[in-house]
Amino acid sequence: MIIGGVRGRVFAATKPTDMRKSYNTLARLVVEELGADPLSGDMYLFINARCTRAKVLLWDGTGMVILMKRLERGRFAAPWKRTADGVIKMSTSELSLFLEGSQLVFVGQLSPDEIEPSRVVKRHLTA
């Protein structure tokens, strides 16, 4: 998948999104509803109300990218059924599972917390 090599965090909106929205409108949603910077390099996941379509917005360093998927059968997991918060943090692995239609996504944390490189180096130097 195209996002496999992208390093960054993923944030999923917890309200249904109109899939007619494009680059600028999705970027505005990132700022206004998710409280984030669309040019940060992070990925932002939006899902329609019927849970049959999803869009991922990301800045790759040279421009905005939208990855879109429409399921022919079944439905995506709905984040708004699992949380009342405005955003859910995911790993890129969880995003891949989500885009494949896995219902495990949003049930609980599937990936370990991110490790900061500075903490790893300090821990090994002091041991």
Please spell the DSSP secondary structure of 40-84, one letter per residue. Answer: SS-EEEEE-TTSSEEEEEEE-SSSEEEEEEE-SSS----GGGT--
Q: How far apart are CA 79 and CA 75, in angstroms?
A: 12
Number of domains in the chain: 1
Question: Which of 21-25, 70-74, 97-101 ranks highest by mean pLDDT?
Answer: 21-25
Segment 33-47 mean pLDDT: 93
Model confidence pLDDT, tens digit, residues 91-116? 888 888 888 887 766 655 555 566 66
Segment 60-80 mean pLDDT: 89
- Identify the domain containing residue 74 by its residue range: 2-126
Calculate the dihedral angle through the C-alpha atoms of 48, 50, 52, 53, rounding to the nearest 10 degrees. Answer: -10
Structure tokens at 49: 């109300």
User: For the whole prediction, is pTM greater than 0.85?
Assistant: no
